[in-house]
Amino acid sequence: MIERWLSGVDRSSSTRMKSLVLLHGIFRRARKLHGLRVNPAADVDKPSPRRSGDIEVFSPEEVMALVRAASSEQDGAIFLTAAFTGLRRGELLALRWRDVDFAGQVIRVRASYAEGQLTTPKSGKVRSVPMAPDVAKALAGLSERGVGTGDDDLVFAGPGGTFLDGRGLRRRYLTAIRRADLRRLRFHDYADLFVMPTSMRRSCSERFGGGGGRHNQSASRKAMSVSGGR
């Protein structure tokens, strides 16, 4: 029963290991003070640590299934952007339209948002990441929603243009996973969930991609929206 519970804990293997150690100590004390006959945590196998470089990710097909299962166009665009860029959740929530360079086909990461606080990215500096054609097409579709598309507006906005609730996004992500019948991988701030090797992102772009604009921002958004959006 303990092994089944540990396997369902939505945390890293190190966190599951700490939980097992804690349980072991609780039951050991229960044996000493209350006469518990056996320590049920004693024979539980330790969670296997993830090997360095052994990153579990969704396949391109699974990413697209997750996007299709999203509860809204915006959530689908978030999942797609996370998968094809490796942006952390807080960086996605802090993304503004001025950071989306359709003409240059890059996204500039300037900030991160979590627990009501706007901070610098984890790296401590602004960085640029390539914007795959399918990401550009999805974001172009959002840019045509009519409101909240000024340079200072959030790309992935909550009610009234406010920051999205990260916990709510996580719940919707888990719902989409169930709908798509996918493995349960974590969606958390450090991009462990969706980050893909650059070679895989290129493969996804070639396999599912559309066309990114090479004119000014407005024209690029409109061209991609007309070409199909999401």
CATH homologous superfamily, domain 60-226: Intergrase catalytic core (1.10.443.10)
Q: 1-5, 142-146, 192-196 — which is least confidently predicted?
A: 192-196
Q: What is the pTM of this model?
A: 0.64
Residue 109 falls in which region: left (phi positive, over 0), alpha (psi -120 to 50) or beta = beta
Rounded CA-CA distance 182/102 in Å is 31
Q: In percent, how much of the chain has pLDDT > 70?
A: 70
For residue 217, is pLDDT > 70?
no
H or E element that contains 30: helix 13-34
Higher confidence at residue 96 or residue 32?
A: 96
Rg (the chain; Cα; Å): 21
The residues near 114 (Cβ < 8 Å, ≥ 6 apart) are: 89, 90, 93, 166, 189
Q: Which residue, 191, 9, 7, is CA-closest to 85?
A: 191
- Name the range with the highest mean pLDDT among 3-7, 26-30, 51-55, 91-95: 91-95
> What mean pLDDT is predicted for residues 199-225?
42
Domain ranges of the chain: 1-54, 60-226
Please determine, for residue 192, whether its predicted confidence score (pLDDT) is greater than 50. no
For residue range 91-107, list pLDDT tens digits in order: 999 999 999 999 999 99
